[in-house]
């Protein structure tokens, strides 16, 4: 059995019905029912029932209180009937809870009492109610019964809000209907659960939409970047200008897009192009330096040969001078700074020779 914080009067009522202390039943269900039928008159039973109704409307999970109410209902069945509470329904619900809670023997005892005493209780109620009920009470019970039937229909049709309104009307007519209070709580919990489930479904749907949009955007971006990558002109391994052009295009793409599916390939080729361009430029620089040195050496040799030719002119050896000067022209090349001077000297020697054989 469960233990709850109950008002003192309700605790005393439960103790009086079950004969236990601290809410723990001491008697069997049958002995408690027989005692309640003998020791409690109709007015006392009504007062006890109202106290239990009030407690159960606040704490529907109070199984000890519910058991006490069922014992009282079996002893005085017309009390529960007067308030529109089904003794059989509540009794079987308690038996189910007891069985699930590991009290199978007590649940079995309760079901046996219901099957044995319920027909007698119904017969007793049928004989007592016509003489004890006033027309006003009968009208209220009929109104409550009609509201409950309408509420059941609304629940079956899925109209929870309208059903709640009808059940609240029932509570206004009878504040002790703990079963109605429990129905209201169940409907509100179900509505809260449905709202939470719809909110979760909406969040999941929104997340899927966002993921889909993001995925589509990423795919489109990937395709666009790939097209730009494929459009970069290729370059031959020895074409320095083409290599520089491809390197500049790759660096611009990487700096603009930062990350995409082929960025690792771009990084790798960028590094390879940088290394290749550096190697080619170094080779070109070495070749240029070698060519400059060779040109300088030839021009120096040409200058030496020219001077030797001029010495031959001074010594009157004009044929040797012409040979040296022509050789100096060949060694000095097209852009030698002494070329024009040598050509002038050769022309002068040939003219002089033509005048004096």
Evaluate whether the domain defined by 290-355 bears CATH number 1.20.58: yes
Q: What is the pLDDT of residue 127?
A: 44
Query: Could you give the CA distance from residue 311 to residue 328 in angstroms, rounded to a whole number?
Result: 14
Instruction: Write the CB contacts of 297 (distance below 8 Å, at least 6 apart in sequence).
Output: none
Give per-10-residue mean pLDDT for the chain (357 aa). Answer: 58 75 56 80 78 76 80 80 74 80 82 74 47 61 80 84 86 73 80 87 90 88 88 84 90 87 89 90 91 89 91 88 90 88 90 79
The burial class, CB within 10 Å (0-12 / 13-18 / 19+), for 325 is: buried
The CATH topology of domain 134-231 is: 1.25.40
Average pLDDT of the residues of the chain: 81
**Residue 99 has which token pair?**
């069985």
* Torsion sign across C-alpha atoms 241, 242, 245, 246: negative
What is the pLDDT at residue 357?
A: 60
User: What is the 8-class DSSP label of residue 76?
Assistant: S
The pTM assigned to this predicted structure is 0.40
- In order of 189, 214, 333, 337, the CA distances from 310 in angstroms are 122, 87, 19, 17
**Taking the mean position of all CA atoms in its chain, how far away is CA 292?**
70
């Amino acid at each position: 059995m469960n233990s709850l914080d109950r008002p003192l009067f309700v605790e005393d009522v439960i103790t009086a019905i079950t004969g236990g202390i601290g809410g723990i039943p001491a008697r069997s269900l049958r002995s408690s029912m027989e005692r309640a039928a003998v020791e409690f008159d109709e007015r006392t039973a009504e007062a006890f029932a109202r106290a239990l109704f009030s407690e159960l409307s606040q704490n529907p999970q109070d199984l000890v209180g519910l058991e006490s109410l069922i014992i009282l209902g079996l002893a005085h069945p017309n009390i529960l009937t007067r308030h529109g509470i089904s003794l059989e329904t509540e009794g079987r619900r308690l038996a189910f809870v007891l069985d699930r809670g590991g009290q199978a023997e007590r649940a079995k005892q309760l079901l046996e009492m219901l099957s044995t005493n319920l027909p007698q209780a119904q017969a007793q109620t049928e004989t007592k109610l016509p003489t004890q009920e006033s027309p006003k009470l009968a009208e209220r019970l009929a109104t409550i019964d009609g509201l409950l039937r309408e509420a059941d229909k609304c629940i079956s049709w899925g109209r929870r809000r309208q059903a709640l309104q009808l059940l609240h009307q029932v509570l206004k007519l009878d504040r002790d209907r703990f079963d109605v209070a429990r129905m209201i709580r169940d409907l509100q919990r179900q509505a809260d659960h449905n709202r939470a489930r719809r909110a979760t479904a909406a969040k999941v749907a929104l997340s899927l939409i966002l993921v889909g949009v993001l995925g589509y955007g990423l795919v489109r971006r990937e395709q666009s970047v790939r097209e730009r990558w494929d459009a970069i002109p290729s370059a031959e391994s020895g074409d320095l200008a083409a290599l520089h052009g491809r390197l500049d295009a790759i660096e611009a793409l990487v700096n603009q897009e930062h990350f995409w599916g082929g960025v690792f390939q771009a990084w790798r080729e960028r590094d390879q192009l940088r290394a290749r361009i550096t190697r080619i430029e170094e080779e070109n620089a070495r070749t240029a330096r070698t060519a400059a040195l060779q040109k300088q050496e030839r021009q120096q040799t040409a200058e030496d040969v020219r001077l030797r030719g001029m010495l031959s002119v001074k010594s009157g050896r004009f044929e040797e001078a012409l040979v040296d000067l022509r050789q100096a022209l060949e060694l000095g090349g097209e852009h030698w700074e002494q070329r024009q001077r040598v050509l002038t000297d050769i022309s002068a020697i040939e003219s002089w020779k033509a005048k004096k054989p």
